[in-house]
Amino acid sequence: MNRRTFLAAALCGTLQLLLAGGAVAASGGVQPSRPAPAKPAPKGKAAPAAPARKTQGRVSAPQRGAQRPAKAASRARAQTVEPDLAPARAVSQPTQPLPAETSESVRDYLYKMRNFDEVHPSDIVLTPERYALMGGLVDRLDRLQRTVGHGFFYLLSLDEAMRQARRPAVGAFSRAELEFIDDVFHADAKNYGFLGKKPLSTLTSVIPQREVVKVPGMGNYLYRGDAHETWLTIQRIMGEQVVLTSGVRGIVKQLHLFLAKAEANGGNLSLASRSLAPPGYSFHGVGDFDVGQRGYGIRNFTSDFTGTEVFRKLEERGYITLRYPRDNFLGVRFEPWHVKVIA
């Protein structure tokens, strides 16, 4: 029994409890099943979604959040400068066929992961009221990031964010927004389909500036010690070819990325979690970082990165220990750019 067959069999039971099954593909019997396509929505209206599972707390509800077309389109255009939020559909590496005995629930799960930026019937979404609240919160976080600067925003704790938000250019967080943040942080991400660990369990976690170092010319921070030393070694090997595309992210930065992704997709928390860990669940908060090929742009955040000289050399030298490998069972898309520092 090969490793893929073993993993599929071992995790089948767990996935059947966590994920909705889809129909097995009729053609060939070896590809992940694809749910029936949703009926196209009338122009200007949100597409209907199948009933979704209810999450803990007040974060989401079993219906699709109402769209705000002009706002969503504007934010989607703005995401071209935020690599973590931009669509990553380009795939140059062929996916491996699944063993014929792979269960229906595993096929459905892998289909979702391979089509992470699509809407799936079991996705968890916000109610229209919560979606509107989230939109206002994302706007405030946008203003806060512009006001304090992108670099400082990476390290910002929630308490400091609340202090900085008192500036007129930002505006203080409302009680409803703070309750929403609390709900999102303490919700069980398994309800969205995210199955990874949660390395940060405290909403008010602080990143001491003495524990991080700003990487010259990259606009990102890394933790001193293993993370920074690993980067310096990679940089010595690769020279100018390699860039640090993302380093340390505090709770507020991860919250902003996660909510902005969900807001741009109609309040779909499951879709967001397939690309961005919910706040508290990101290992960027404790040491991991992302690398890319200089001049490769947004494609550094797609499977195309595996075809670059940077990836090939790092893989040859053993520096690519992936946090989220292809067809992982953590509920996260394939991330060949993510350097695992913390076990």
Over residues 300-314, the pLDDT tens digits come to 998 899 999 999 988
Over residues 217-264, the pLDDT tens digits come to 999 999 999 999 999 999 998 899 999 999 999 999 999 999 999 999
- Checking if the pLDDT of 337 tops 90, the result is no
Structure tokens that stand for 295 in this block: 């001049």
Work out the number of other CB atoms within 10 angstroms of the CB of residue 201: 9
Confidence (pLDDT) at 321: 72
As a whole number of angstroms, the distance between CA 289 and CA 300 comes to 13
Give 15-28 as a DSSP string: HHHHS---PPPSST
As a whole number of angstroms, the distance between CA 193 and CA 190 comes to 5
Over residues 142-185, the pLDDT tens digits come to 999 999 999 999 999 999 999 999 999 999 999 999 999 999 99
As a whole number of angstroms, the distance between CA 141 and CA 331 comes to 26
Confidence (pLDDT) at 133: 98
**Total-model pTM:** 0.75
Q: Are strands 242-246 and 338-339 parallel, antiparallel or unpaired?
A: unpaired
Confidence of residue 98 (pLDDT cuts 50, 70, 90): low
Kindly state the average pLDDT of the residues 292-321: 89
Q: Are strands 212-214 and 242-246 parallel, antiparallel or unpaired?
A: unpaired
Kindly state the average pLDDT of the residues 196-203: 96
As a whole number of angstroms, the distance between CA 204 and CA 159 comes to 7
Dihedral of CA 331/335/341/343: which sign? positive
- Checking if the pLDDT of 294 tops 60, the result is yes
Kindly state the average pLDDT of the residues 82-96: 48
How high does pLDDT run on average in the chain? 79
